[in-house]
Structure 1
Amino acid sequence: MATFVLVHGAFHGSWSWKRVRNALQAAGHEVFTPTLTGLGERSHLNSPNVNLSTHILDVINLIKWEELSNVVLCGHSYGGCVISGAAEQLNSSIRALVYVEGFVLEDGESLMDLFPREQVNQARQQAQTAGDGWKILPFPASVLGTNSADVDWVDAQLTPQPIASFEEPLLFAKRSPEVADILHILATGYESPFPIAAAHERAKKRGWATRTVSCGHEVMLDRPDDLTKLLLEYV
């Protein structure tokens, strides 16, 4: 039996991992799908003070208090930033890292740093005009290349996220997480509004394993069986 911790992306919650979670559990594995503070069913905890450090601690504390070891830690999209920070502090507990359409940050870099200045300015303006000065509204599911059967459901599930979580830089005490097995998965079936392809290239330059899947950004919803098979390679 393997232990998986699956971390969702921005605006999402544990609900987004339901299909993969069920498949892994059916195969006899232990699976945790934490919802990050302020999102999903924890959206009542949303506040301007929630940032990337908060979300990293969400994952660290889950692994610590559940006394998990030999973990396959997987992050989707923004969740890639989260698992990088968690793994750097808990690398002895981590068996493998899997980035699913995940952002890959350098030391001292924030998620906002990866985007063109025009997009960053638009996001900050939106936070001021539509997000009470501190939160970003979700991207429509259609922009994410979500399959048509799930678009309305995903739109109903997404929740706003504090802009602080995108603006806070990731600071490593070491250069990067010291985990032997790392995989980056790129979705190639949609026109991405995000610099995920650049993250995929970073992964290659770091010597990580890389794979592609022909679907939209929501790999765990669009291709849950294929993603489950990729995760099971690390059992």
Structure 2
Amino acid sequence: MSTNPATFVLVHGGWWAGDWWWKDVAQPLRAAGHSVYTPVLTGLGPRSHLLSPDVDLSTHILDIANLIKWEELDNIVLVGHSYAGMVISGVAENVPEGIIRSIVYLDAFFPEDGQSVADFFPPEALEAIIGKDDPVPPPNWFGGDNAALTALLTKGGTPHPRAALFEPARLTGARDRIAKKTYVLAATNPGGNADTARKLRADPSWTVEEIDCGHMTMIDAPKETAEILLRAIP
């Protein structure tokens, strides 16, 4: 692990969005001397007033790539939770090589070139969410029995930009050239990313970690999540 302070960029997933999700993860990272950014994607949570049919995956990739550009960030540990696996994969393609030193998929989608979020769901499962008048998944979608997590999810989220679920990732291998790569599996997520974890365990360039919690690891297991992120510093 490097002794130089890292810059963590923590990118939330879909539907439920806000920097407060990360507070119990960000605090120990900052206490260890690292910088932490917790941006909110366009059209979600506190930025839901910007939701429009034009907001897509490319918008969200630019949200993060422009943060990196204008804040002049370097020595980055880029972390994407859930849907943000799509986002961070695209960000790696849109910033100069070497700025992102480590990439972490936190129980996240792991797309190949040409795949969209919709490709990870059976059509009926996706339609059960986006076809509703209030297209937000129910709290039990994400597993875990943490009371704080259940209370936050029950408050309700915001609709996810529909176009972002169908725009395919455009990848040329930039993700694979990042120095340190980690996938984190949430073991009790009922949706499950076990197949992704299994595939990456067979690749010696990847580290695969596992947490015994539900999908929202930053709420269900913030201490363990922070410890894994600290280990992801190159």
What TM-score does the superposition give when structure 1 sets the normalisation length? Answer: 0.89
Q: Mark the runs of 5 or more structure 2 residues left unpaired by the alignment.
A: none
| Superposed counterparts of 1:1-235, under 5 Å | 1-11=5-15, 12-90=17-95, 91-126=97-132, 130=133, 137-146=135-144, 147-156=146-155, 158-172=157-171, 174-177=172-175, 178-190=177-189, 192-193=190-191, 195-207=192-204, 208-235=206-233
What is the rounded CA distance, in whole Å, between the counterparts of 1:57 and 1:124 in structure 2? 24
- Segment drifting more, 78-87 vs 148-157: 148-157
- Segment drifting more, 138-147 vs 181-190: 138-147
* Partner amino acid, structure 1, of 2:112: E
What is the rounded CA distance, in whole Å, between the counterparts of 1:202 and 1:35 in structure 2? 30
- Could you tell me the percent identity over the aligned residues? 44
What is the rounded CA distance, in whole Å, between the counterparts of 2:14 and 2:127 in structure 1? 18
> Which ranges of 4 or more aligned residues in structure 1 deviate by more than 4 Å?
none
Q: 1:124 to 1:44 in 2, by over 3 A?
A: closer
| 3-state DSSP of counterpart to 1:161 | coil
| 3-state DSSP of counterpart to 1:118 | helix
User: Which residue is 1:134 aligned to?
Assistant: none
8 A contact 2:182–2:232 mirrored in 1: no
What is the rounded CA distance, in whole Å, between the counterparts of 2:149 and 2:232 in structure 1? 28
* Partner amino acid, structure 1, of 2:108: G
Give 1:176 deviation, angstroms.
Answer: 4.4
After superposition, the C-alpha distances for 1:168-225 in whole angstroms (9 at most, x for unaligned) are: 00012x23422021100001124x23x5222223423444110111000011111111
Give 1:154 deviation, angstroms.
Answer: 2.9
Give 1:21 deviation, angstroms.
Answer: 1.1
8 A contact 1:77–1:101 mirrored in 2: yes
Across the two proteins, how many residue pairs are aligned to each other?
A: 224
What is the rounded CA distance, in whole Å, between the counterparts of 1:175 and 1:71 in structure 2? 18
After superposition, the C-alpha distances for 1:121-162 in whole angstroms (9 at most, x for unaligned) are: 434533xxx15xxxxx22222321241233122332521111
8 A contact 1:104–1:203 mirrored in 2: no
What is the rounded CA distance, in whole Å, between the counterparts of 2:199 and 2:118 in structure 1? 17
- Segment drifting more, 198-207 vs 40-49: 198-207
* Partner amino acid, structure 2, of 1:112: A
* Partner amino acid, structure 2, of 1:224: P
CA RMSD of aligned residues (A): 1.7
